[in-house]
Amino acid sequence: MFQRFQQSRWPQLLVWVLIIAAIVAAPAVLPVFRLNLLGRFLSLAIVALGIDLIWGFTGLLSLGQGIFFALGGYAAAMYLQLNSSSGFPNGIPEFFGLYGVKQLPAFWQPFHSPLFTLVAIWLIPAVLAAVLGNLVFRNRIKGVYFSILTQAALLVFFNFFNGQQKLINGTNGLKTDVTQLFGQMVGSPEMQRGFFWFTALMVIAAWVFVRWVVRGRFGDVLIAIRDDEPRLRFAGFNPTLFKTIVFAIAGGLAGIGGALYTVQSGIVSPQYMTVPFSIEMVIWVAVGGRGTLVGAILGAVAINYAKSLVSEAMPQSWLFIQGGLFILVVTALPEGVIGWWRSDGPRNLLTRLGITRRIGTYPQLELDGQEEVQP
């Protein structure tokens, strides 16, 4: 019954206790700069949870999550810019003046409303994901074709946002750190501390939500889609619908993550929609362990922390490390760290190192006595 032992709750509980302890202790221990970084990484963890939902459970590898991430960020930034632009000419954000734009473009108008913005942050990415996803899924385009198309879509959105100065400030992006919210500077340490707490809460909320989605028969259907989609059709389920829904959920989560990331990094720009960044997101989940939600969170935070540390010390080497990580996790650690732990990895490692000896029994002997032996 080693399977049971391995999947027992205590390691997972322990991980959770550690995560929560770290989050609670962080504001007291970390300097503001580091705390802000951690807050950003936690917002990335929300994106990673969405990727785990679509890739880890449903088998859809999206290389375009940056689209939804950036859209969430832009929605938040547009509201903040409007909220703080009364002092500028024409009462519109300052950058418009650089391009001689006198009137606010129509699509900016609704972002005057905070309520609209709060909804738009997740709804716009979710709806876009649903539309894009449905166009692809209903033609039964799947596997790598889906990945390639999402990547192409990402490039398209990048081009669009990068090229439209007069609409969205093009390649410069929208700054948020000097904008006002609740009468305070968004970039101020107090506000940043508040965002950190809020992000931490949102990570837990997102985890609870995704876990609820993957539990029960809905989650079983997702796994069945990953295992054998055509077979599922013959059982009367319509995979297109399920895939569209989870892709939309992942898009919405990416949007929320993007908004939180934007207010903590102080800017949103087309750089959030570059091809490498979106693939990087996938590796967070892969390293943590796909199909294990905790793994997605841990992976996102750990890899980004490693990235910032390595980049500070030896900026040249991070791409080598990251590239190696991609190769390593795919060839040697396909289930990620959490999956490796659950599938007896630590014990195997100890055995291989000669520290403990493997006890070999026939599988049948490890079962309860009441088994009927079947051929």
Partner 1 sequence: MSAPLLELREITVSFDGFLALRDLNLSLQPGELRAVIGPNGAGKTTFLDVITGKTAPTEGDVLFQGRSLVGRAEHRIARLGIGRKFQSPRVFEKLSVQENLALAVSRPKQPWPLLFGRLGGQERERVHHLMGIVNLQSRADWEAGALSHGQKQWLEIAMLVGQDPDLLLVDEPVAGLTDEETDLTADLLKSLAGDHTVLVIEHDMEFIRRLESPVTVLHQGHVLCEGTMDQVQADPRVIEVYLGTSEEEQS
Partner 2 sequence: MQLLFESLFNGVAIGSVLLMAALGLAIVFGLMGVINLAHGELIMLGAYTTYVVQLIFKLPAFEPVYNLYVLVAIPLAFVVSGVVGILLERTVIRRLYGNPLETLLATWGVSLILQQFVRSVPLATAAGLVLALVVGFSLPLVLPASLLEGPRARLVRAGCWATSALSGVLLAGGLASQISRIARATSRNVDVTAPRWMRGGLEWADLTLPVPRLVIIVMTIVSVLGVTLFLNRSVWGTRIRAVTQNRSMSDCLGIPTDTVDVLTFGIGSGLAGIAGVAVSLLGSVGPNVGGSYIVGCFMVVVLGGVGNLFGAVLASFAIGWLTDLIGAGRLLTLWPAMPPPLAATVQFFATTSMAQVMVFALIVLFLQFRPAGLFPQKGRMVEV
**Given the rule CB under 8 A, which residues bind partner 1?**
213, 216-218, 220-221, 223-224, 226-228, 230-239, 241-242, 245, 367, 370-372, 374-375
Number of other residues whose CB lies within 10 A of the CB of residue 363 = 6
Nearer to partner 1 (CB atom), residue 228 or residue 323: 228
DSSP β-bridge partners for residue 174: 268
- 162, interface contact from partner 2, partner 1, none, CB < 5-8 Å by kind: partner 2
105 is a site residue for partner 2 (CB under 8 A): no
87 is a site residue for partner 2 (CB under 8 A): no
- Residue 167 CA: distances (Å) to CA of 41, 84, 130, 153, 333: 29, 18, 25, 20, 45
Nearer to partner 1 (CB atom), residue 1 or residue 327: 1
Which region holds residue 170: left if phi is over 0, alpha if psi is between -120 and 50, else beta? Answer: left
Q: How far is the CB of 275 from partner 2 (least distance, A)?
A: 7
- Residue 370 is classified by DSSP as T
The whole-angstrom separation of Cα 172 and Cα 159 is 13
148 is a site residue for partner 2 (CB under 8 A): yes
The whole-angstrom separation of Cα 254 and Cα 186 is 21
Q: How far is the CB of 283 from partner 2 (least distance, A)?
A: 7
Place of tokens 């699509």: 107
Q: Which stretch binds partner 2 (CB under 8 A): 137-145, 198-206, 213-221, 363-371?
A: 137-145
Residue from 1, 327, 365, 373 binding partner 2 (CB under 8 A): 327
Tokens of 212: 């609820």
10 Å CB burial of residue 27 (0-12, 13-18, 19+) is middle
10 Å CB burial of residue 332 (0-12, 13-18, 19+) is exposed
Residue from 34, 112, 140, 231 binding partner 2 (CB under 8 A): 140
**Range 299-318, binding partner 2 (CB under 8 A):** 316
Nearer to partner 1 (CB atom), residue 126 or residue 181: 126
Q: What are phi and psi of 122, to 5 degrees?
A: -105, -25
Residue from 89, 91, 97, 324 binding partner 2 (CB under 8 A): 324
231 is a site residue for partner 2 (CB under 8 A): no
Q: Which stretch binds partner 2 (CB under 8 A): 160-168, 214-222, 246-254, 358-366?
A: 160-168
**Residue from 102, 145, 157 nearest 269 by CA:** 157
DSSP β-bridge partners for residue 62: none
- 97, interface contact from partner 2, partner 1, none, CB < 5-8 Å by kind: none
Nearer to partner 2 (CB atom), residue 52 or residue 186: 52
- 143, interface contact from partner 2, partner 1, none, CB < 5-8 Å by kind: partner 2
Nearer to partner 1 (CB atom), residue 5 or residue 234: 234
Q: Which stretch binds partner 2 (CB under 8 A): 11-19, 85-93, 146-154, 179-187?
A: 146-154
Tokens of 366: 């490890």
Please write down the HEC assignment for all residues of 99-123: CCCCCCCHHHHHHHCHHHHHHHHHH
276 is a site residue for partner 2 (CB under 8 A): yes
- 283, interface contact from partner 2, partner 1, none, CB < 5-8 Å by kind: partner 2
Q: How far is the CB of 70 from partner 2 (least distance, A)?
A: 15
- Residue 134 CA: distances (Å) to CA of 38, 198, 260: 35, 32, 27
**Residue from 281, 364, 358, 220 nearest 64 by CA:** 281
Q: By the criterion CB under 8 A, which residues form the site for partner 2?
A: 61, 135-136, 139-141, 143-145, 147-149, 151-153, 155-156, 159-160, 162-163, 230, 275-276, 279, 282-283, 286, 316, 319-320, 322-327, 329-331, 334
